[in-house]
Amino acid sequence: GDSVTQMEGPVTLSEEAFLTINCTYTATGYPSLFWYVQYPGEGLQLLLKATKADDKGSNKGFEATYRKETTSFHLEKGSVQVSDSAVYFCALKGGSNYKLTFGKGTLLTVNP
Amino acid sequence: ETGVTQSPTHLIKTRGQQVTLRCSSQSGHNTVSWYQQALGQGPQFIFQYYREEENGRGNFPPRFSGLQFPNYSSELNVNALELDDSALYLCASSLDLQGSYGYTFGSGTRLTVV
């Protein structure tokens, strides 16, 4: 079945540091890929998405590129801020599927 | 437009009891999905409702059941609560069955079973 593996946290960075959170997936067909963010006490918010190979999703300075050859969708940001502190989830939705399959999440803490 | 509203935000139940969680979908959204997020884990799909019928189900036992109402709001019912049912329960609504336009998540209900 579908599965998502993302790097385990927690990740602690200083403000303005470069961020990478690795995500790889296993799926049949051509899934859509997502990054969601969860701030303390809140639900999930869509950060970015990509629906086909080589697509780059981007939002709020975050980027991720859908790499079919390596089955990866790594999240990057060039300069993190304290306000980026949250849990980040990589997720996929199979081509003919109706559900999201999530990774375990990565806690990011950014210190001033 | 209003987002997805879940109630209650927190509750504590005793093992063996039954619980009902509620979700109001975003305006115009006809599909509701429920997810269970255990502490330190990613959300796990429970089931989805479309036009008042269960459309798909994850790997959860029958004591997890649901309803969807004509106004597209939904309930999640859990019978015979177990300690492992302690989790954050998330509701997500979408414009269509496939989630073609994305999903809107609520803030969740934190259930603690003691």
B69-89 confidence digits (pLDDT tens): 999 999 999 999 999 999 999
Smallest Cα distance from A84 to chain B, Å:
18
- B58 to chain A: which residues are within 8 Å by CB? 99
Tokens encoding B6: 């879940």
pLDDT tier, A96 (very low <50, low <70, confident <90, very high otherwise): low
- Of the ranges A2-6, A9-13, A39-43, A107-111, which one carries the lowest mean pLDDT score? A39-43
Average pLDDT over residues B40-44: 93
Residues A106 and A48: their CA atoms lie apart, in Å, by: 16
* Contact between B43 and A49 using a beta-carbon 8 Å cutoff: no
* Region A42-67 average pLDDT: 94
Q: What is the pLDDT of residues A60-74, one digit of tens each?
A: 999 999 999 999 999
- Average predicted confidence (pLDDT) for chain A: 94
Among A42, A90, A99, A107, most B C-beta atoms within 10 A, so best to mutate, is A99
A110 vs B: CB within 8 A: no
DSSP H or E segment with residue A45: strand A44-50
Query: Is the CB of residue A49 less than 8 Å away from at least one CB of chain B?
Result: yes
Asked if B43 lies within 8 A of A104 by C-beta distance, the reply is no
pLDDT at A20: 97
Evaluate whether A9 touches A104 at the Cβ level (below 8 Å). no
Tell me the CA distances in angstroms from B35 to A43, A51, A89, B54, B110, one per residue in order. 11, 22, 14, 14, 12
Closest residue of chain B to A100, computed from CA coordinates: B45
Residues with Cβ within 8 Å of residue A69, at least 6 apart in sequence: none
Work out the mean pLDDT of chain B and round it to a whole number. Answer: 94
Which residue type, as a one-letter code, is found at position A40?
Answer: P
Write out chain A residues lying below 8 Å of B56, CB-based: 98-99
Does the pLDDT of residue B95 top 80, yes or no? Answer: yes
pLDDT at site A60: 96
From the list B4, B43, B98, which residue is nearest A102 (CB)? B43
